[in-house]
Structures are given as structure tokens and as C-alpha cells.
Amino acid sequence: MSVAVRGIRNTFRNKIRGGAVVLVLAIVIGLTLSMLVANEAVAARLESVRSKLDTTVTAAPAFAPKGEDTQPLTADQLTAIRGLDHVASATGIVQGMLEAPSDGEDDKSGGPRVSIAGPSGAKGTTNLESGVDAAAMGAPAGVKFPIMVGGTDGTVNARGQALDITDGRALQASDTRGAVISDQLAKKNGLSVGGTFTAFDQTFTVVGIAASGGTFDDVGVVMTAETLMDLGDQSGYTSIVAKADDVANLEAVKTKIGELLGGAVEVHAETETALQATQGLETVERITRLGFLICLFCAAVIVFFTLALTVRERRKEVGVLKAIGATTRGIVGQFGVEAVTLVLAATILGLGVAALTSNVIADVLVSTNTPANEAGGKMPGMPAGAKAVRIAGPGGGEPESAADLIGEVTAGLGWDTLGLGAATALVIAVLGAAAPAWLIARVRPAEVLRGE
């Protein structure tokens, strides 16, 4: 009888004990695979979240004491920010609004106006009509919304968000009387690329149309920063928006910009949500990695003690086999086959345990390590204890919490999991059979037979 066949048959010589060992080992191996699969799923989700996180840092003049004017940001400050470590890009932005020319008759018939830009923003008139739907915004009928205008480098809107050009081209530095408008404005006013409109008593040509991004128009009109500063009588930038090269460097970039610009400038970044999301996933990744190692060790210990007990019980058998010419290598191979058979049987059952528990483990660990954000927060320049209504983007919705950023972590079993299961089983069998093999090598046939 071959060593392999004898090893397989001896595995379940004691059916009750063999079945019990396989059952316990199946649970441990199942948890080992669950931790491994959950760790891989969390690592993949962490990479995905990091790639989508906003690494924007915004610098804007702080609120000045009553009676004093705020000082705009300068081109020299923009250049200095671009030269900082870990700053991928920086854009100077001039903000403002455009309204239809004031007319008593029109105002009376058309309803009240809504003002957005503050005293320091560029203000002007236009023949464009806002594309914002008052009813969709929950505003009274007849409300006239102004149109947001931003002076940028042509790649972002007035809020520093990247423009999604759907028709035409991006704005260029030479487009002193060119503009990109939102698709809402284009539809409302019947404009297309090459069409013209007036703003600040000047005629502008539409060079591109960008997606508005939602119910509330986040694009409006975008022209070059130099043009808006000139026509809007602005001496500098309303804000500077910088991008960190990685979310891990976000806080460092924010600190460096604050030190560079001084206390007269407010510097803020959406770091809290970003750090909560990534730190929570990093914690879960560490827990699942540690859990995998612990479960792997426990499985190896179970195999070790099972085989060690088997060797002690069958010490006479080992001695007899050696006495009739069996080699130590052959006997160790037989017990090694028993270990592999035991572990493989447990691994097959363990895959079922992993399929049932991997998603549960990942969900529980992620949810318990991801704190929820508050709905409101303190904004730069606000008094202590004040709360702000935070508007994250199109439509004025609540900003994403850490849980929203992470989303659902799915730990699935596939062919790669089966391969990992086989590799894990082999490692457990080798680790568990190592010490019993050493015990077998120490058995002397003469001592065993003399004892009998």
C-alpha cells in the first residue's frame, strides 16, 4: 500500500475524533479565508476611495473688521502656492454675479430678485436669463436668480470645480471676450457655440458649453480671470484653489498654505470627511490582516496538536514500521498526507463558512470604524458656536459623509479565493506537521519494542 493511500485511510481511523477535528478546523479556516477576502476587498475599496477623494484646499481673504475692506489675493501669492511641495496645481479665481438691467416695471411684474455675490464680488449686467428653475429650487414663483460668473484659467468654474465641456472647447488665455457657459444657460437663452451675449456692457462669444452639474447652475458664465478683474473692477483674486497631489498630503498642504499667506487669509479643506473615510478603512485593513494571521496560527496549532497526539498514540506503530525497514522520510510523508487530507477536507467546508461570513465581517468592521459626520459645521471666519448650512455641490445637497464616500464593501468568493484557500491549506498543513515530523524522527524502534 502506498504512503499516500495509507495516509488518507489513517486520517479517519477514528471517525468521531477525525470528524470533530475537521469541523473545528473548518470553522477556523473559514474565518481565516473570511479575514483574507475581507482584507483584499477593503484594500481595493481604500484605493478606490483615495482616487475619488477631493484634495482641494481653498484660500480666501478672511473677514475684515467692520469698516475695513478685505484684501484680495495676488498673482505673487498664487505663484508661491504653486511652488509648494505636494501642490499638484493652483488656480486663481475671481467670483461675481450677473443680473439683468434693473427696471422698475420688470421687477414689479417679474417678482423679487435673489442676490448671491457679496460686496467684494464682481457685479455686472447681462442680457442672459438664468436657467435655474425657481420651482425646482422651492423658491416662490417669479423669483429672478442672478447668474454666477467666474474668472478662472478656463479649466474650473467659480467654485474651483473642473469644467465638463460638452460642446466647443475650453477657454484659453487669448479669449479676452470669449466665455464658456452652462448647458442650462445655453438652453434657456437659445445659445450655441459661436453665439454671442452681453455682459459688463461688452459682447462675448460662446467658445464652449459645459455641463451645469445639477438643478442649481454651478457653471453659469466662465471667462478669464484677467477679463473679469478688468471689467468687474477687481484688483486681485477672490480665492485661490489648490490641489494636493495625494489625500495623504492634504493636511500638510493646507498647513503650508496657511503659513505662507498668514492670518489675514482663511485656508480650509474638506479634510475631516476624507481622513475619516481613509483612516476607517486603514483600521479595518489592519484588523483583517491581523485577524488572518491569528486564525492561520490557530489552524496550524489545531493541526499540530492533533498530529502530535496521533503520533504519541501510534508510537508503537511508528516503531514497528521503522523496525521492519520503513524510513523516517516515508513515515513523515504518511503523517504529512494525513495532515494535508485533514486540512483539505476542512478547507472545503471552510469555503462555505467564508462565503457566509466574509461580507458580514467586512460590513461590521467598516461600519464600526467609520464615524458619521455632523450635518452642519463651523465655516472659516464664523463666530465660535455658530453653525453653517453646508452646500457641497449641485443642488445644494448635504456633503458626503465618510460612510457615503466608502459606500458598500463587497467581499466575494472567486477563483482567486479558491487558489488562496488551497495555498492557505498547504501552509497550515506544513506548519502543523512540522513538529510531529520531528517527534517521529526521534522514535527509536528498540526502545518501543523493549517497552512492550
Tens digits of per-residue pLDDT, 116-148?
444 457 899 999 988 877 666 666 766 778 898
| pTM of the predicted model as reported, rounded to 2 decimal places | 0.58
pLDDT at 159 over 70: yes
Q: If phi over 0 gives left and psi between -120 and 50 gives alpha, with beta otherwise, what is residue 237? A: beta
**Contacts with 391 (C-beta within 8 Å, 6 or more apart), sequence order:** 397
The per-residue pLDDT for 161 is 83
Q: Take residue 441 and report the three cell numbers written for it.
A: 524522527
Residues 35, 171, single domain; the answer is no
Q: In a 3-state reduction of DSSP, which class is residue 6?
A: helix
Single residue among 212, 243, 269 that ends a domain in this structure:
269
* 423 pLDDT tier (thresholds 50, 70, 90): confident
The per-residue pLDDT for 90 is 92
Q: Of the given ranges (79-83, 275-279, 448-452), which has the lowest mean pLDDT?
A: 448-452
Q: Of the given ranges (39-53, 200-214, 219-233, 366-380), which has the lowest mean pLDDT?
A: 366-380
Which domain covers residue 403, as residue numbers?
3-52+277-451
Which of 230-244, 308-322, 332-346, 370-384 reaches the highest mean pLDDT? 230-244
Give the angle 325-331-336 at the CA atoms, nearest 5°.
165
DSSP per residue, 132-181: --TTTTTPPTTPBPPEEEEEESSSB-TTSPBP-EEEE----TT-TTEEEE
* 5 pLDDT tier (thresholds 50, 70, 90): low
Residues 250, 369, single domain; the answer is no
Residues 94, 184, single domain; the answer is yes
pLDDT at 376 over 60: no
Q: Take residue 363 and report the three cell numbers written for it.
A: 460590513
| Burial (Cβ within 10 Å: 0-12, 13-18, ≥19) of residue 245 | middle
> How many structural domains is the chain composed of?
2
Residues 298, 338, single domain; the answer is yes
Beta carbons of 197 and 206 less than 8 angstroms apart: yes
Beta carbons of 359 and 29 less than 8 angstroms apart: no
**Alpha-carbon span 383 to 53, nearest angstrom:** 29
Residues 291, 221, single domain; the answer is no
**Alpha-carbon span 298 to 35, nearest angstrom:** 13
Residues 75, 191, single domain; the answer is yes
Residues 11, 67, single domain; the answer is no
Residues 126, 155, single domain; the answer is yes
Kindly state the percentage of the chain with pLDDT values over 70.
69
pLDDT at 307 over 60: yes
Mean of the per-residue pLDDT values of the chain: 76
| Burial (Cβ within 10 Å: 0-12, 13-18, ≥19) of residue 440 | buried
Q: How far is CA 142 from CA 97, 105, 218, 321, in A?
A: 19, 14, 21, 100
The per-residue pLDDT for 383 is 39
* 440 pLDDT tier (thresholds 50, 70, 90): low
* 435 pLDDT tier (thresholds 50, 70, 90): low
Query: Could you tell me which of 424, 375, 343 has the C-alpha nearest to residue 7?
Result: 343
The per-residue pLDDT for 185 is 92
